[in-house]
Structure 1
Amino acid sequence: MDKVWRRLRCTQGEKMTTVGLIGLGAMGSGMAQSLRRAGHTVHVFDVRREAAEAFAKDGGVACASLAELGAACDVVISVVVNAAQTEAVLFGTDGQDRGCASHMKPGSVFVMCSTVDPNWSVALEARLEGMGLRYIDAPISGGAAKAASGQMTMMTAGKPEAYAVAEPFLNAMAGKVYKLGDSAGAGSKVKIINQLLAGVHIAAAAEAMALGLREGVNAEALYEVITNSAGNSWMFENRMAHVLAGDYTPLSAVDIFVKDLGIVLDVARASKFPLPLSSTAHQMFMQASTAGFAKEDDSAVIKIFPGIELPAQKGT
């Protein structure tokens, strides 16, 4: 019954509103597919024109500019890397009004899905309200597979009027949409706490696997035991599988956690709140980044440990 209700809501939402998505990366492409699968006509924009056109071949509209997408859509969903890219999406970078914000209709909703400083998100809400636009602070989690299946998690905060317009689209993209407050900031605060745990867990998983390799333990056997024991974590099970496969293709890159744990530490520093584990994990990702692994999968943080032989890529 719940699934039927959600489909009906999305169908009703489509009659009233149009949706656009900016950023067809690992998460954004899956989110756009989920929206399309729910029956929405999805307008998309990506700096890689070919990515937008490839999406549109199977249904949808590839927009040639941010201004075109902003003018066409009542709800604009931004899935870019950071606050700076979000600013560029909204307001442009060259002072020539090439962003989408000034082209959006009054009352339209901007849904921000990046991991950012919560204070920046609060300020952005106020800025957009001054332009007659609504805003939802909506960081995401779950990875590319859950984004593609419409089962990711959204940590959201915003005013009821914004949800009234955007909620059918949020439901189409996510298995869980948490409403954490009626103004911006709460979603981003919960997301950075999630990233604190994710980063620390990846760093700890890498350290554990590295010790096992150093001590001559069979890596496959270690993985099997740990994933069936109390020491397991979702990140150990997921990321150490990448290590065993010798595959560091970036689903989430090392530099993502350089950024995200940096935000965590900045927020805590402003409150004079100690985060010793987060600080150590951040230094580990920084070390991996400066050692040349910045764009590799975040499991490549294991490469900072000396004196270990990592599994070779399977099939090589």
Structure 2
Amino acid sequence: LSVMASGTEAAFAKAAPVLDAMAATVYRLGDEPGIGSSMKLVNQLLAGVHIATAAEAMALGIRMGLDPATVYEVITHSAGNSWMFENRVPHILAGDYTPLSAVDIFVKDLNIVHETGRELALPTPVAASALQQFTAARGAGFGREDDAAVIKVYQRLSGIDLPEAANDDGEA
């Protein structure tokens, strides 16, 4: 866990034991309130876009007839890799959408990105596209599933076969 926070030297000194106990890294971003939240929003924009793009890339590979596990293996060793691809695609490969981070969270976060961009008169078209994918997943009933379930939108739209979770017998 990383913490992105702002505050006075005194506040950080007082909070240090708690921050150090719960976070691997604490980013001290200045004294003004809100800097940590702003930084988290930038991170969430990238995280949401990366998850949506990972789902799209896997859907494309599957639609073209590529083996999903091979797509994962090649991409995780190629320039197109991202931390989110490497972390979320195993959920897709396992057919396991038990929520570790839910679709609904990215609907919320990317909506905040969209609103912030609008307030700042800054277009965020890539974030808006990712937001639409997460909103579609939520609308299809996947809001409480793991955010990797955004790939199920492609399954609904194009009929791709996604990997299924193994049952107790070890079979799909």
Instruction: Identify the match of residue 227 of structure 1 among 69, 76, 92.
Output: 76
CA distance in structure 2 between the partners assigned to 1:181 and 1:266 by the alignment: 24
CA distance in structure 2 between the partners assigned to 1:183 and 1:276 by the alignment: 29
Deviation by residue 1:266-304 (Cα, 9 ceiling, x = unmatched): 111101100010000001000000100000000000000
Letter in 1 for 2:73: E
CA distance in structure 2 between the partners assigned to 1:170 and 1:222 by the alignment: 38
Deviation by residue 1:176-211 (Cα, 9 ceiling, x = unmatched): 101101121100000000000000000000000000
Letter in 2 for 1:235: M
Letter in 2 for 1:232: N
2:159 aligns with: 307
CA distance in structure 2 between the partners assigned to 1:188 and 1:248 by the alignment: 28
**For structure 2, which runs of at least 5 residues remain unmatched after alignment?**
none
1:13 aligns with: none
Aligned residues: 165
CA distance in structure 1 between the partners assigned to 2:67 and 2:27 by the alignment: 41
1:171, distance to aligned residue in structure 2 (A) = 1.1
Question: 1:39-188 to 2 correspondence within 5 Å?
Answer: 152-188=1-37
> Structure 2 length as normaliser, TM-score?
0.93
2:142 aligns with: 293
Deviation by residue 1:77-111 (Cα, 9 ceiling, x = unmatched): xxxxxxxxxxxxxxxxxxxxxxxxxxxxxxxxxxx
> SS of the residue aligned with 1:158?
coil
CA distance in structure 2 between the partners assigned to 1:177 and 1:223 by the alignment: 31
Task: Tell me, yes or no, if structure 1 residue 193 matches structure 2 residue 45.
Answer: no
Deviation by residue 1:239-279 (Cα, 9 ceiling, x = unmatched): 01100000000000000000001111111110110001000
1:159, distance to aligned residue in structure 2 (A) = 2.3
Letter in 1 for 2:126: L
Deviation by residue 1:49-80 (Cα, 9 ceiling, x = unmatched): xxxxxxxxxxxxxxxxxxxxxxxxxxxxxxxx
Question: Once superposed, what is the RMSD of the aligned Cα atoms?
Answer: 0.9
**For structure 1, which runs of at least 5 residues remain unmatched after alignment?**
1-151
Structure with higher RCO (Cα < 8 A, 6+ apart): 2
Q: Which runs of 4+ in 1 moved over 6 A?
A: none
> Structure 1 length as normaliser, TM-score?
0.51
Letter in 1 for 2:159: G
Letter in 1 for 2:13: A
1:172, distance to aligned residue in structure 2 (A) = 1.4
CA distance in structure 1 between the partners assigned to 2:110 and 2:9 by the alignment: 31
Deviation by residue 1:110-144 (Cα, 9 ceiling, x = unmatched): xxxxxxxxxxxxxxxxxxxxxxxxxxxxxxxxxxx
1:169, distance to aligned residue in structure 2 (A) = 1.2
**Which one has the largest radius of gyration?**
1
CA distance in structure 1 between the partners assigned to 2:118 and 2:35 by the alignment: 18
CA distance in structure 2 between the partners assigned to 1:195 and 1:170 by the alignment: 21
1:251 aligns with: 100
1:160, distance to aligned residue in structure 2 (A) = 2.5
CA distance in structure 2 between the partners assigned to 1:182 and 1:242 by the alignment: 39
Letter in 2 for 1:311: P
> SS of the residue aligned with 1:191?
helix
1:209 aligns with: 58
